[in-house]
Homo-oligomer: A and B are copies of this chain.
Amino acid sequence: MSAMSKLDALDVSILKLLQQNGKRPYSEVAKLLEVSEGTIRSRINRMLNEKVFEFIIHMDPNKIGLQVQAIIGIATKLGYQEQVAMKLNQCREVRFVGVFSGRHDLILQAYFKNNEALVDFVNGELAQLEGIDTVDVSIELKQYKDSFSYIVNGEGHLEENSNGVRK
């Protein structure tokens, strides 16, 4: 294992502020947490190195022309799970793939321009793959939540002890 230091209260506080706005300046974070900008910068760079998080943009699929979202559950033949997952990995339409316990061996999330593109994907790319037993397609009708703020207040989830301010 590489540099796998645990996050302390200050790190979590920084993430909590950045998850509200990925463009928030380091100096602003520093003021809010009452430490110097240099400290914020070194913490962020360390976390980026350790791949704790990354700066990205999140596009609204609808607004960029991807109107159809599907979640697809797949049952694979014994021994084919990894092979199928690797193939799906390479599909442009696929945003997410994982191996799961439960009813489906693999679950993936994919975006398409329209219904026709989805059908082409299922009957074309999926049908060609070896080792697939059954496919269960669910099409999104309405989205209620799609959040990236994993750090929340209140019991249960991750939370820093104090508010990250050193006394």
Contact = CB atoms under 8 A, between A and B. Distances in A.
A89 B8 CA distance: 29
Size category of the A interface is 35 or more
A65 interface: yes
B144 A65 contact: no
A64 B15 contact: yes
Interface string A4-28: 0001000010010011011100000
Contact of A52 (B64, B117, B148): B64
10 contacts: A7-B64, A22-B57, A53-B58, A56-B148, A88-B144, A92-B157, A99-B140, A101-B141, A102-B136, A103-B138
Interface of A: 7, 12, 15, 18-19, 21-23, 50-61, 63-66, 69, 71, 73, 85-86, 88-89, 92-104, 107-108, 111, 113, 117, 136-148, 150-152, 154, 156-158
